[in-house]
Copies of this chain bind each other. A is one copy, B any other.
């Protein structure tokens, strides 16, 4: 990770995530960051999001039907619940995969998606690529 300059733009984006814990879309981030540095452009937002993700401050999250969002990386492992009614994303405490189907009381579950990433049996075994 090369050294990062502490520009006003980068500070502004950091501040946005210090002010908000919910996952944010790039355009929301641009809008919120412009309140601190009004000349900031979308390309800079994208570049900073990438840099902040690489340096471990942010995590990116691509949610089917919703798009790509960014959130702080220092939250503990969790998953997300998207409410189609209010178009908002909620963090879920704990991990459904480990805990067996935990959904907060009062939440009505329509559907779910589980994606697993790794190495398949064939690739694990022999192949050096």
- Name A residues whose Cβ lies closer than 8 Å to a Cβ of B: 61-65, 79-86, 88, 90, 92, 95-98, 100-101, 103-125, 127, 129
A55 to B81, CA, bound (A): 27
Q: Is the CB of A97 within 8 A of B118?
A: no
Q: Is the CB of A103 within 8 A of B116?
A: yes
A80 to B116, CA, bound (A): 6
Q: Is the CB of B79 within 8 A of A117?
A: no
Which has the most chain B C-beta neighbours within 10 Å: A95, A114, A119? A114
Q: Is the CB of B86 within 8 A of A123?
A: yes
**Residues of B with C-beta under 8 A to A105:** 121
A84 to B127, CA, bound (A): 13
The contact of A82 among B85, B90, B115, B127, by CB within 8 Å, is B115
**Residues of B with C-beta under 8 A to A127:** 85
The contact of A84 among B63, B64, B104, B117, by CB within 8 Å, is B117
Q: Is the CB of B114 within 8 A of A83?
A: no
A86 to B123, CA, bound (A): 7
